Amino acid sequence: MDSVIDKIKESAHKIAEDYLLLGSDMTNAVIDLYDSDDIDNEEMLKRICEQANQNVYLALFHDPKTDKANIKFDLADFGKVKAQINQSEQEMKDYIAPPSDFRSSTQLPSKNDDAAAVPIDGNIKLAAFNQCETYHSWYKRLYDRIELIKEASVAEAEDAFNKMAYDAKLMVANGESIGDIAKIASRFVSEDNLGMEKVAKAYDMIHRDLVKNGFHVKTDFTKTSSYKINPNAEILKPVKAFALALEKIAAVNEMCSEIKKRVDAFGSMMKSATKK
C-alpha cells in the first residue's frame, strides 16, 4: 500500500513542479503516464490529478505575488484523462477490426461483385487511406523526435534547477539572503530577455524547501543584490542554463502542439475512411 501512495505522491509532485517551473500541461502529463504504461490504474490516475492540483494550489497560495482571493490555474482534469483513455481503447478496437468496405487489393470490382459490399470507388478510397496513413506516420515520427528534444530540455532544466538549489543551500548556510540570490539571478536573466518570472518562482520553491528542511533563511534585500553583475560568475551558469532550457521547452511545446493537430487530423481522416 505504501508503494502505491508513494507512487501517487511522487508522480503528483513531478507533474505539479513541471507545471509551475516549465509550464507543462498537467492533464497531458497524467495522460502520458497512462500512454507510457507507467500507471494504468484509473483510480491512481484520479488521485494523482487531485494531489497535483492540491500541490499547485498550495504553491500559488504561498507565493506572495498571488492574489489569494482569486487563485486560478489549469487543473489536471481527470474527466479529460478518462475521455482520452476511452478514446484510446476505442481506437485500438477500430485498429484491430478490419475495414468494412476495403478490398484486399486495388483491383476494381467485377460485375459479379456485390455492389453494396464492395463500392465501385473502393480502390480510390484505399489509395486515399494509404496516403493519409503515410502522412500520419510521418508526422507521428516527427512528433516523437521533437518529444525527445523536449525530454532532453526538461532534463537540462531539472539538472540546472538542482544545481541552483545546491548553490543556494550553501550560500544560505553561510548567511546569505535568498532574497539577494533570487534578485541577482532574476536581474541576470532579464538582461538576455529570458524567463525572469520563472527563475524567481524557482528560487521561491528552493526557499520553501530550505525552510521545510530546517534552514534559517534570510529573505531581505541588501546592497549586495544591487551590485553590478559578473556574467561569468560560476553561480550564474546554472541559472542561465535553466532559463535557456525553459525557452527551448516553450518552443518545443508550441511545435508539438502544431504537429499534434496534424497527427490528429490525419488520424481522424483514416478513421472516417474506414466507416461505411
Q: Which three cell numbers stand for residue 72?
A: 486560478
> Do residues 151 and 58 share a domain?
no
> Do residues 30 and 137 share a domain?
no
> Do residues 84 and 132 share a domain?
no
> Do residues 85 and 191 share a domain?
no
The pLDDT assigned to 5 comes to 83
> Do residues 27 and 77 share a domain?
yes
Name the domain count of the chain: 2
The pLDDT assigned to 184 comes to 92
Residue 248's domain comprises 119-276
Looking at 41, 66, 97, the residue that finishes a domain is 97
Q: Which three cell numbers stand for residue 204?
A: 521561491
The amino acid sitting at 169 is: K
Cα–Cα distance measured from residue 156 to residue 158, given in angstroms and rounded to the nearest whole number: 5
Domain contains 184: yes
Domain contains 27: yes
> Do residues 194 and 70 share a domain?
no
> Do residues 80 and 157 share a domain?
no
> Do residues 85 and 128 share a domain?
no
> Do residues 47 and 136 share a domain?
no
Give the number of other CB atoms < 10 A from CB of residue 88: 13
> Do residues 207 and 91 share a domain?
no
Domain contains 33: yes
Domain contains 61: yes
Q: Which three cell numbers stand for residue 195?
A: 524567463
Domain contains 112: no
Give the number of other CB atoms < 10 A from CB of residue 259: 18
With H, G, I as helix, E, B as strand and everything else as coil, classify residue 218.
strand
Which residue in 276, 38, 273, 275 sits closest to 136, CA to CA? 273
> Do residues 83 and 148 share a domain?
no
pTM of the model: 0.55
The pLDDT assigned to 114 comes to 46
Looking at 97, 127, 158, the residue that finishes a domain is 97
The pLDDT assigned to 259 comes to 87
> Do residues 130 and 162 share a domain?
yes
Q: Which three cell numbers stand for residue 112?
A: 459479379
The pLDDT assigned to 275 comes to 56
The pLDDT assigned to 260 comes to 83
- Identify the sign of the CA torsion 93, 97, 101, 103: positive
Domain contains 104: no
The pLDDT assigned to 274 comes to 62
The pLDDT assigned to 119 comes to 46
In the chain (276 residues long), the average pLDDT of successive 10-residue segments reads 78 88 86 78 89 89 80 89 78 49 43 45 60 81 85 90 93 92 90 82 90 90 84 90 89 85 80 60
Domain contains 199: yes
Domain contains 189: yes
